Structures are given as structure tokens and as C-alpha cells.
């Protein structure tokens, strides 16, 4: 069996497990939207976008699987691998973003993927990427500690260096440079990763993917029924605007999908259904909204 066949089977099962668990939480089922890219298009391949909108718990939850091949890696994928510029490639992965309805419940993102390509010299290359990160609108210490502890435990079997490296990478990557602020409280992030070899690299990928539900669902259970008013909803929509800014301006995954001719609906399913922007908004000193910026949207060692 080719390695990509093994990875594909795992990713499809991961997508099914995550969406089944979240259906149980919300009470509404995800809608499956299978798609394919026909021969002659810039990409060939297929995928399944699972989407839940206007649910009791999730205002929007998208979890997509894709498996595509293309004639040329886009610039977003080769900025650290110039020898692969323009090389044919194969990419497969699962990516999700969940936007809960309740402002006290955080948005979460998770992605696991594998890419392979062949350089002009004929030498094949592969690498893994992914991670997960949490974007709260109202900060809770126990939530941040639980999420980071789950990430650390997932990486522990693969070396004590992995969590601190990938946490730092996440802090640096999910950062809105134009606003000089983090997107959230971070988590873990890795890309262009092949140093463990295929077998162990794939094992690490599975460990991260399998850790997601345990990292996020206990937090969601604590926060999804918290009473809130228009004040909290307004702040949630304001902060969602920053999420949109990051995804469109800085996110390599979004750029990779759009530059390679990917399916636009699936690429942009990470966007929240509603978001607001306001001019030079300032929060009241000492308020929970101000506390988010001063205590949570900063680099911290949570575990």
C-alpha cells in the first residue's frame, strides 16, 4: 500500500470521528458536500467538505478532507524549499475551523496534512504539517492550560523538544503582523516536517489529530451554555474580524489553496458567518474584554 493510501484512510476516519462527536454535542448533523476536480483543471483530485451551520452550539463548523495532485507547487509551499519550485505535487489533509455561537466558547482550528513532490533532479520529497490553536473571545486560565497540556501530551512520545518548538512556531505563525497581536492563545504548529522519517512523522501526525477532541470538547462543554448579552456578542463579532484578517492576509494554507486552483468554497469555509469591524475600538480598562488583550493575547508558557 502506498503511504498516501494509508494517510488518506486515516484522514477520512479522523474527519468522520470528529464530525460524529460534534454532531452529538450540537444535535444537528453535518452536511456532506463531496467534490472532485476533473482532468484538465489546474488541480485533480477529490474531497469531502463537512459543514454545520446555524446549529444550537455551532454557528458554523467546517471540517474538510481533500486529496489533490497538481502540476506545480505554488510559491506559498516552496518559500523554504526553493529546489521544489514548480515541481508536481500531491497533497492530502484534514482542516477544520469551528465557530461556536456562545461568545464564551472559543473558536478552534486544527489541520493535519501530508505533501509530496518530486524535484527537477528526480529526487522525491515529502513532509508533514499541521497543528491546532485556540482563539478565545473571553479568557479562562483553565481552558488555556487544558488545551496546551493536551498538545504537549500528544507530542511527548516524539521528543521533549517538540512541544516547545511547535508552540513557539505557533505563537510566531498565528500572529497578525499588521496589528502586532496574536490571533489567540496559540497551541502547536509545524510545517515542512520530515526529520522523523515517514513512519514516525505519520505517527506524530496521527497523535496530533487524535488529540483534538480531547483538547477542545471539554472546553466547549464548560462554556457553550454560559449566559451572555449583546455586549458579549458584539465583542465576539469584533474579534472574529481579526480572525478573518489573519486568514486572508497571512495564512499560508489559504494562499496555497487559492494559488493552486483549489476549491474556493472549501478553502473559505473557515470564515465565520458574521464578523464586525470598528474604527480604533478601545475596551474599558479592567473589563473582561480588555483582559483578553492584556492577559491572553500575549505569549505565555501555559504548561
CA distances 234 to 19, 136, 152, Å, are 28, 14, 33
**The one catalytic residue among 67, 99, 109, 148:** 109
- Pick from 225, 18, 17: nearest CA to 105: 225
With CA atoms as reference, report the closest residue to 287 among 139, 156, 173. Answer: 139
Q: Is the dihedral of CA 264, 270, 272, 278 positive or negative?
A: negative
80 is catalytic: no
Sheet hosting strand 186-193, strand order edge to edge: 31-37, 44-53, 58-70, 89-100, 107-118, 124-135, 186-193
DSSP for 284-299, please give it.
PTTSHHHHIIIIISS-
- Among all residues, which ones are annotated catalytic? 109
Amino acid at each position: 500500500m502506498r503511504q498516501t493510501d494509508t494517510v488518506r484512510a486515516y484522514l477520512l476516519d479522523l474527519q468522520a470521528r470528529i464530525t460524529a462527536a460534534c454532531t452529538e454535542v450540537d444535535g444537528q448533523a453535518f452536511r456532506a458536500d463531496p467534490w472532485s476536480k476533473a482532468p484538465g483543471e489546474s488541480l485533480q483530485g477529490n474531497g469531502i467538505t463537512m459543514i454545520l451551520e446555524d446549529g444550537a452550539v455551532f454557528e458554523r463548523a467546517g471540517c474538510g478532507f481533500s486529496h489533490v495532485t497538481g502540476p506545480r507547487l505554488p510559491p506559498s509551499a516552496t518559500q523554504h524549499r526553493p529546489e521544489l519550485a514548480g515541481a508536481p505535487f500531491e497533497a492530502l489533509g484534514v482542516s477544520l475551523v469551528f465557530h461556536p455561537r456562545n461568545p464564551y466558547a472559543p473558536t478552534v482550528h486544527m489541520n493535519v496534512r501530508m505533501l509530496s513532490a518530486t524535484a527537477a533532479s528526480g529526487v522525491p520529497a515529502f513532509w508533514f504539517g499541521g497543528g491546532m490553536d485556540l482563539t478565545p473571545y473571553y479568557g479562562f486560565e483553565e481552558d488555556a492550560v487544558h488545551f496546551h497540556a493536551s498538545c504537549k501530551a500528544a507530542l511527548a512520545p516524539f521528543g521533549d523538544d517538540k512541544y516547545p518548538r511547535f508552540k513557539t512556531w505557533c505563537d510566531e505563525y498565528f500572529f497578525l503582523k499588521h496589528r502586532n497581536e496574536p490571533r489567540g492563545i496559540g497551541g502547536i504548529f509545524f510545517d515542512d516536517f520530515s526529520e522523523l522519517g515517514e513512519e514516525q512523522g505519520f505517527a506524530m501526525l496521527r497523535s496530533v489529530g487524535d488529540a483534538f477532541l480531547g483538547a477542545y470538547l471539554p472546553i466547549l462543554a464548560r462554556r457553550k451554555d454560559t449566559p451572555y448579552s449583546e455586549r458579549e456578542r458584539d465583542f465576539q463579532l469584533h474579534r472574529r474580524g481579526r480572525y478573518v484578517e489573519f486568514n486572508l492576509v497571512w495564512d499560508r494554507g489559504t494562499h496555497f489553496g487559492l494559488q493552486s486552483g483549489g476549491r474556493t468554497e472549501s478553502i473559505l469555509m473557515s470564515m465565520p458567518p458574521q464578523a464586525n469591524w470598528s474604527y480604533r475600538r478601545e475596551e474599558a480598562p479592567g473589563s473582561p474584554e480588555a483582559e483578553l488583550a492584556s492577559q491572553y493575547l500575549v505569549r505565555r508558557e501555559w504548561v
